[in-house]
Amino acid sequence: MEDNSKIEQLKKATPARIGIGHVGTRYKTRAYLDFLAAQAAASDAVFNEVPETVVEQLGTFEIQTKCQDKYEMLTRPDLGRLFSDETKAYLKAHCIQHPKVQIYFGDGLSSPSIEANIPDLFATMKAGLEDDGISVGTPFFVRYCRVNTAREIAPLLDAEVICVLIGERPGLITDESMSAYIAYHARPDMLESEYTVVANISRKGIPPVEAAAHIVDTIERILKFQCSGVELGKFV
């Protein structure tokens, strides 16, 4: 039986935590624990590592930015985009050169987002792009990854379009959300506004397969107009 009480109607209108009652001025125990659980999951998503087994299951290899740990990753965005010379050489040796599109995965601010989204997201993207005759580079995983790794990796592998699938800052609705940052001819001195972004990819947001299909279209547009970000928006 559907509960059609007024308070239920209000609750249906928003994902916000309303209609939770109170004891004195404070939260009821159930609501209090629900909040703690969601916040704990969100916090853990940031500070926990992506297990190596997950990277293995994706069938990819792993590299690491100049950051040594999570603390450095969170406080030093400058290091989170750079790689050591050895890492760069390793990457170059293990990847196809000059792909049309280079896709890779980064933990960013949500470790669980990798396991939750990448299998469906990447498979759908790869199938869609290759069906249109667009070559996709060798995928890999970057630990302690910032979005701006794209500025280093694109020139290194000579990718025309770069797409990093990276964990988003988790909220209390989901800790598994990720974004795609896509850029045409990414390079160290590119502008932030050159990124095209598809955010909120998760089971609770845009489902990974749908997001992937949308990204395929977006990448095709980027290749067609040879630009990304704000510039791309000008082509209607």
Partner 1 sequence: MYLQTILLGRTYQFQTVKEVLAKASEVKSGDSLAGIAAGDKLERVAAKTVLAELLVSDIRNHPAVPYEEDFVTRIIQDDVDEKIYEKIKNWTIAELREWMLSSETTGEQILEVCRGLTSEVIAAVMKLMGNLDLMMVSSRLHITATCNTTIGGKDIFASRLQPNHPIDDIKGVAASTLEGLSYGIGDAVLGLNPAVDTVDSTVAIWKLLGDIRDRYEIPTQTCVLSHITTQMKALQTGAKADLCFQSLAGSQKACEAFGISPDILGEAYDMFLRDGSAKGKNVMYFETGQGSELSSGANFNTDQGVMECRCYGLARHYHPFLVNTVVGFMGPEYVYDTKQLIRAALEDVCGGHLHGLPMGCDVCYTNHMLTDQNDVESLATLLAATGCHYVMGLPQGDDVMLMYQSTGFHDVAALRELLHKHPIPEFEKWLEKWQIYENGKLGRNAGNPEIFL
Partner 2 sequence: MEYIISVGIDIGTSTTQMIVSKLGIENVTGFGSVPRMEIVSKQILYRSGIHFTPLRKSLEDNRMEEIDGEKVADILKKEYKKAGIMPSDVGAGAVIITGESSRKRNARKLVEDVSRVCGDFVVSVAGPDLESVLAAKGAGADRLSAETGLRVMNLDIGGGTTNIAVFDQGKLVDTACLDLGGRLIRVDKEQKITYISSRVEPYLPETGEISIGQILTTDHAKAITKCMTSYLAESIGLVLPSKDLEKIYTNHGLQDKKRPDIILCSGGVADCMIHSELSDFAYGDLGVLLGRSLFDSGICTKQYLYDTRETMRATVIGAGNFTMEVSGSTIQYQNCNFPFKNIPVLRIVLEGQEDILNLSQRITRQVKEFWQDGLEQRLFALSMSGLSCPNFREIEETADEIRHAIKELSYEGPIILVLETDMAKALGQALRRRFGHERSFLCMDGISSQTGDFIDIGEPIGQGSAVPIVVKTLIFNS
Residues of this chain that interact with partner 1 (CB under 8 A) are: 6-7, 10-11, 13-22, 24-27, 31, 35-36, 38-39, 42-43, 45-46, 74-78, 109, 169-173, 175
Instruction: Using the minimum distance from each CB to partner 1, give the nearer residue, 144 or 184.
Output: 144
**Taking the complex as a whole, how short is the minimal distance between the CB of residue 200 and partner 1, in angstroms?**
9
Cβ neighbours of residue 43 under 8 Å, at least 6 residues apart?
170
Closest by Cα among 176, 55, 195 to 108: 176
Give the span between the Cα atoms of 103 and 77, in whole angstroms: 21
Give the span between the Cα atoms of 124 and 113, in whole angstroms: 16
Instruction: Using the minimum distance from each CB to partner 1, give the nearer residue, 38 or 213.
Output: 38
Give the span between the Cα atoms of 77 and 17, in whole angstroms: 33
Residue 209 interface partner, choices partner 2, partner 1, none, CB cut-off 5-8 Å depending on type: partner 2
Instruction: Using the minimum distance from each CB to partner 1, give the nearer residue, 15 or 51.
Output: 15
Instruction: Using the minimum distance from each CB to partner 2, give the nearer residue, 156 or 173.
Output: 173
C-alpha neighbours within 13 Å on the C-beta side of residue 92: 12
Nearest 5°: the CA angle 228, 229, 234 is 85
**Taking the complex as a whole, how short is the minimal distance between the CB of residue 33 and partner 1, in angstroms?**
12
**Taking the complex as a whole, how short is the minimal distance between the CB of residue 141 and partner 1, in angstroms?**
19
Return residues touching partner 2 (CB under 8 A).
Answer: 4, 6, 9, 119-120, 123-124, 127-128, 131, 179, 197-200, 203, 206-214, 216-217, 236
Instruction: Using the minimum distance from each CB to partner 2, give the nearer residue, 8 or 78.
Output: 8
Instruction: Using the minimum distance from each CB to partner 2, give the nearer residue, 93 or 236.
Output: 236
Residue 210 interface partner, choices partner 2, partner 1, none, CB cut-off 5-8 Å depending on type: partner 2
**Strand ordering across the sheet containing 178-184:** 61-64, 140-143, 101-106, 161-167, 178-184, 196-201
Q: Which H or E run contains 200?
A: strand 196-201
Give the span between the Cα atoms of 101 and 64, in whole angstroms: 21
Residue 179 interface partner, choices partner 2, partner 1, none, CB cut-off 5-8 Å depending on type: partner 2
DSSP 44-69: HHHHSPPPHHHHHHTT-EEEE-S--S
**Taking the complex as a whole, how short is the minimal distance between the CB of residue 74 and partner 1, in angstroms?**
4
Residue 76 interface partner, choices partner 1, partner 2, none, CB cut-off 5-8 Å depending on type: partner 1
**Taking the complex as a whole, how short is the minimal distance between the CB of residue 67 and partner 1, in angstroms?**
12
Residues 82/87/92/95 CA torsion (nearest 10 deg): -100
**Taking the complex as a whole, how short is the minimal distance between the CB of residue 40 and partner 1, in angstroms?**
8
